[in-house]
Amino acid sequence: MSGDQIGPTTLPDTPPSAGLSPIDRRLMFGSLPMPDMTTAVQRRIRAAVGLGYFADGERLPREADLAQSLGVTIFALREALSVLRDEGLIVTRAGRNGGSFVRSRQASRSLAVAELKGLSATELRDLGDWRHMLASVSAYLAAQRASESNRARLREYATQVGVATSPIEARRAHGRFHVELAAAAQSIRMSKAQFAMQEEFDWLFGLVLDDPRERQERSQSLLAIVEALDRRQPEAARSAADRHSVVTVQGLARLRLECIATDRMLSVEVSGPTLASELAQLTQDLLTTLTRLAKVCGPLLAKPTDGSELRARVASGVLTSLGDIRFPVHGMGVLADVGIVDGHPYWVDWWHRTQDGTVHDVTHVIDPSREDFYNYVDSEYMSYPREHRVPWAAGPYVDYGGVNDYTLTVSVPIVARGRFLGVAAADLLVADIEKQLAPWLAAIGVPCLFLNAEDRVVAANSVGHMVGDVVQSTTGYEEHPVGRFGWKILTKT
């Protein structure tokens, strides 16, 4: 905002937000997250246990004291302790010497595996990016600001990772290293951000540190950071932190895929061509359903209508189809082109799956005067079928304002007498696609990538390629076309 004073007669005709992109507008004016003190307490205690501030078997402070220390109500604390008790992280005993006691060794791995499998591809990538940035900047600043005692503690923690006799010990030292690295940067905000990262994400690294050889390698990469700090070389410290973060996040991504794959079994011989064939069949099933929905809705869109009969047809088509599609469809419906439905410049009828069943989605704002207007008309899943009159798959893209996750949208044009009326479409969450294909990807013994028409990664078993990455070169890969949308499977030769 400029420093010029603007009087009543010089106010702009358009609001300041008019120049925002659709994504920026949704982020700016989207709903604020509600504070959840119970979850915050769970994460704080879990992080404290993971860092060893509470030892295995140690009694937690009295509830009243702990609630006061954390700045929460007794009710929120007890709710959090109840969840931690259900997870097996603590046990509560009655009596004079009773209380809540930590039992981290029994519960930590199963909790971490469940948490890792529950992360979507988007969440893991975003957390990895945040982890990477935080460690790099902390190392850069620490090379300029760290005290001798900071460097001594960092060297001690890095060494402990390599000599640890269990993943829990290694995880604890690894976490303390990064907390100390942020402290060595002499930044309060950096330290708070690092501890928040520890609460949300870093405790999962105990899974990566299961293998003693992995602990040795990670120890050496941490020591490389310390050596750069000793030499007061900020760029070298940043580079060493970069290398460590990339390798550990990639290891976590590989482990996540393996954990997901163990939940399902395959009875067929797995290869690149058979995976391409499976993907082609799944896609054809989905296109058949969307084409049927488009044919039902086409005649209704082609005549003047108030939309009520059209909504009934859409609901009938969606509700009878979602359960029959093998592809993990998150949502399905119809989007009309501008001015097609009487009295509605923009018109969407959308249904999505929830844990409780299929429900009507009313979250899309299609009033163009609103700041959070969902301008689907210019989206690729609408513009490509409009221009080419053929089905298309847009993505992977982050559906800001929708599911806020990496999404593929498959759309089929609705056309009557040569006039484009809209699309019948379905949303596929990339995380669900990955789960569907994980057994195949995990079983193929060579690096394997599922790419869209732009060579952008949808799913992969290669830890060097994550969802959304653009593959710059396919040299050394064998290509297996899926037969739709320019999709392809690549396997390393």
**Mean pLDDT calculated for residue range 41-68:** 81
Instruction: Dump the DSSP string for 208-226.
Output: HTTSHHHHHHHHHHHHHHH
Whether the upstream peptide bond of residue 481 has omega within 30° of 0, thus cis, is: no
Domains, the chain, in order of start with CATH, read: 37-102 (1.10.10.10), 110-261 (1.20.120.530), 292-428 (3.30.450.20)
Residue 131: predicted pLDDT: 85
Among the listed residues 319, 379, 317, 308, the one whose alpha carbon sits nearest the alpha carbon of residue 352 = 319
Residue 141: predicted pLDDT: 96
**Mean pLDDT calculated for residue range 370-382:** 88
Q: Is the pLDDT of residue 277 over 80?
A: yes
pLDDT in tens, 326-365: 778 888 999 999 988 888 889 998 988 776 667 777 777 8
248 pLDDT band (50/70/90 cuts)? confident
**Mean pLDDT calculated for residue range 205-220:** 89
- When computed from its CA atoms, the radius of gyration of the chain, rounded to whole angstroms, is 26
**Mean pLDDT calculated for residue range 222-229:** 97
Residue 236: predicted pLDDT: 97
Residue 63: predicted pLDDT: 87
Q: Is the pLDDT of residue 67 over 80?
A: yes
Instruction: Dump the DSSP string for 90-145.
Output: EEEE-STT-EEEE-HHHHHHHHHHHHHHHS-HHHHHHHHHHHHHHHHHHHHHHHHH
24 pLDDT band (50/70/90 cuts)? very low
Contact status, residue 422 vs residue 307, Cβ threshold 8 Å: no
Q: Which of 25-34, 288-297, 340-349, 473-482 has the lowest mean pLDDT?
A: 25-34
Q: Is the pLDDT of residue 433 over 70?
A: yes
What b/e sequence results for 50-63 when a residue is b if at least 16 CB atoms lie within 10 Å of its CB, and e otherwise? bbbebeeeeebeee
| The two three-digit tokens of residue 397, written as one number | 């893209």
| Highest mean predicted confidence (pLDDT) among 1-10, 107-116, 188-197, 314-323 | 188-197
439 pLDDT band (50/70/90 cuts)? confident
- Percentage of residues in the chain having pLDDT higher than 70: 86
Q: Is the pLDDT of residue 29 over 50?
A: no
**Mean pLDDT calculated for residue range 226-230:** 97
Q: What is the 3-state secondary structure (H, E, C) of 37-66?
A: HHHHHHHHHHHHHHCCCCCCCCECCCHHHH
Q: Which of 100-104, 163-167, 483-487 has the lowest mean pLDDT?
A: 100-104
Contact status, residue 436 vs residue 422, Cβ threshold 8 Å: no
Q: What are the C-alpha distances in Å from 64 to residues 96, 103, 117, 335, 453?
A: 16, 21, 35, 54, 58
Here the contacts of 6-12 (C-beta below 8 Å, separation 24 or greater) are none
Q: What is the 3-state secondary structure (H, E, C) of 408-456?
A: EEEEEEEEECCEEEEEEEEEEEHHHHHHHHHHHHHHCCCCEEEECCCCE
Region for 400 from its dihedrals, namely left if φ exceeds 0, alpha if ψ lies in -120 to 50, beta otherwise = beta
Q: Which of 291-295, 375-379, 407-411, 444-448 has the lowest mean pLDDT?
A: 444-448
Residue 323: predicted pLDDT: 67
Phi and psi angles of residue 100, each rounded to the nearest 5 degrees, phi first: -100, 125
Contact status, residue 229 vs residue 148, Cβ threshold 8 Å: no
Contact status, residue 380 vs residue 372, Cβ threshold 8 Å: no
Q: Is the pLDDT of residue 320 over 80?
A: no
**Mean pLDDT calculated for residue range 31-44:** 67
Q: Which of 257-261, 282-286, 334-338, 426-430 has the lowest mean pLDDT?
A: 257-261
**Mean pLDDT calculated for residue range 219-238:** 97
pLDDT in tens, 123-142: 777 788 888 899 999 999 99
Residue 353: predicted pLDDT: 77
Residue 130: predicted pLDDT: 86
Alpha carbon 188 to chain centroid, angstroms: 27
Q: Is the pLDDT of residue 226 over 90?
A: yes
Among the listed residues 203, 1, 225, 219, the one whose alpha carbon sits nearest the alpha carbon of residue 112 = 203
